[in-house]
Structure 1
Amino acid sequence: MSAETDPVKVMKQEVGKAAAQRVQSGTIVGLGTGSTTAYAIQYIGDRIKKGDLKDIKGIPTSFQAEVLAKEHGIPLTSLDAVDHIDVAIDGADEVDPQKNLIKGGGAAHTREKVVDSLADQFIVVVDSGKLVERLGSTFKLPVEVIPMAYAPVMRAIEKLGGKPELRMGVKKAGPVVTDQGNMVIDVTFDSIDNPGELEKTINNIPGVLENGLFVGVANVVLVGEVKDGQPLVREM
């Protein structure tokens, strides 16, 4: 099967395109991280090239998003140069029925949370495999921590009932290092009963920068699925 006809890839492209269609001229756009969001960035670039979108400024949430945006001709700005963000587009690792999220599979959740929370409208792009009844059921909760504090933070998380592990690099010896130069602890919880409480509790542990629970931040969730070999996009 060629890449062009791989239904999962086509579905991710369609979700990205659906999100990119919602961007309007003259807006400031938060550009998220990850494979589905990458297609949204590509299609925003296509719309700019066609003259369909004008006067767009992007704010990237990661080095990956910055490189992609430049590649696709999206002019970039920064949070110290703007006073608002109109719309942000980003993926998620899990989405519950209340549109709460777990993010951070790409270790960019701190910058993503800053940008996505500031946006007037935050559009989440996912495939249907990311939908869960309860957060934490399929994905570990990522916690970004400053390097000197990783051991005490892991002990504090254990006291909360979590099983923490330091995220190790692939094709790199030693731990994953975030764009901010920090480490990521991935935490397994038996169940996350109150995501809003847990988000605050973990963020209050000294040395924690931010965790991957996004509670009450998402406005729109666009879900892609493959039905009878055909890609479909629906709004949750």
Structure 2
Amino acid sequence: MMDIKQLKMSTFDDALNHITDNIVLGIGSGSTIELLVPKIAEKVRAEKLNIIGVCTSTKTAFIAKEHGLKIVDINDVDHVDIAIDGADEVDSNLNLIKGGGGALFREKVIDTMAEKFIVIVDETKEVAHLGDKFKLPVEVDKFNWLLLARKIEQDQPVIAMRRMADDVPFITDNGNYILDLELKERLDPYQLHEYLIHLIGVLETGYFLDTTEAVIFGTQDGVKIKQRS
């Protein structure tokens, strides 16, 4: 029986098949992508590919550069050919919750900019509905974060908690806080996203809706690929 790390790594060959010459590649963030980056670098070297990478977090960019990949700032490119990223939850419509690593804003910029967005996950990330197992991350300004948390709890059936890391508030690469919303009941992701995104002080939500072209699942029964219909 494979462990979670092995399930994640079982998706890599199918993900790497999407990487071809002369592309701008969006490289996501999180534990799965950190394992994938060295494999991308190996493919680029072995096949002498001309690839420019843009990364969804400073940590991913650091790792990618350490492995010799050419990484540029997102403002230095005008398009992204393909983005490969992980996810915290995937529903039957291939909608996602992302942001467990706190990079949801930059992930959304790059992943939605991509012509093709591919997600790689292990089978534990598949859920009946978004918010089933994982809290919804929301990136918010430091200035009014507590007012936002109180308003969201007042208006929606959720518990809003500021994310902490080692007993201090977690700070995103953009210098903001993350509110993790625990959904008390099944909520429509489209409606909740629309409500949240119009609150002053909310930068972005961890809902990734209608953006994913395919999800590659690592399962105990082998790799399974689901395409958006």
**TM-score, length-scaled by structure 1:** 0.91
Alpha-carbon shift at residue 39 of structure 1 (Å)? 2.5
1:28 aligns with 24
1:68 aligns with 63
1:210 aligns with 204
Alpha-carbon shift at residue 215 of structure 1 (Å)? 0.6
- How many pairs does the alignment contain? 225
Q: 1: CA distance between counterparts of 2:68 and 2:174?
A: 25
Q: 1: CA distance between counterparts of 2:120 and 2:48?
A: 20
Of residues 44, 54, 57, the one that matches 2:52 is 57
2:98 aligns with 103
2:170 aligns with 176
User: 2:127 is aligned with what amino acid?
Assistant: V
User: 1:198 is aligned with what amino acid?
Assistant: L
Of residues 27, 37, 45, the one that matches 2:33 is 37
User: 1:91 is aligned with what amino acid?
Assistant: G
| Contact kept? 1:17, 1:43, Cα under 8 Å | no
| Contact kept? 2:29, 2:60, Cα under 8 Å | yes
Question: Does the residue aligned with 2:131 lie in a helix, a strand or coil?
Answer: coil
Alpha-carbon shift at residue 10 of structure 1 (Å)? 2.4
2:187 aligns with 193
2:44 aligns with 48
Q: Please, what is the CA RMSD of the aligned residues?
A: 1.4
1:117 aligns with 112
Q: 2: CA distance between counterparts of 1:208 and 1:47?
A: 39
| Contact kept? 1:15, 1:36, Cα under 8 Å | no
User: 2:174 is aligned with what amino acid?
Assistant: Q
2:74 aligns with 79
Unaligned residue ranges in structure 2 (runs of 5+):
none
| Contact kept? 2:117, 2:211, Cα under 8 Å | yes
Q: Which runs of 4+ in 1 moved over 6 A?
A: none
Question: Does the residue aligned with 2:218 lie in a helix, a strand or coil?
Answer: strand
Alpha-carbon shift at residue 193 of structure 1 (Å)? 3.2
Report % sequence identity.
37
Question: Does the residue aligned with 1:218 lie in a helix, a strand or coil?
Answer: coil
2:133 aligns with 138
Unaligned residue ranges in structure 1 (runs of 5+):
none
Deviates most, 206-215 or 65-74: 65-74
**TM-score, length-scaled by structure 2:** 0.94
Alpha-carbon shift at residue 168 of structure 1 (Å)? 0.8
1:129 aligns with 124
Deviates most, 63-72 or 133-142: 63-72
Q: 1: CA distance between counterparts of 2:121 and 2:152?
A: 28
User: 1:200 is aligned with what amino acid?
Assistant: E
Question: Does the residue aligned with 2:216 lie in a helix, a strand or coil?
Answer: strand
Alpha-carbon shift at residue 18 of structure 1 (Å)? 2.1
Q: 2: CA distance between counterparts of 1:148 and 1:66?
A: 28
User: 1:42 is aligned with what amino acid?
Assistant: P
Of residues 206, 224, 229, the one that matches 1:234 is 224
User: 2:113 is aligned with what amino acid?
Assistant: L
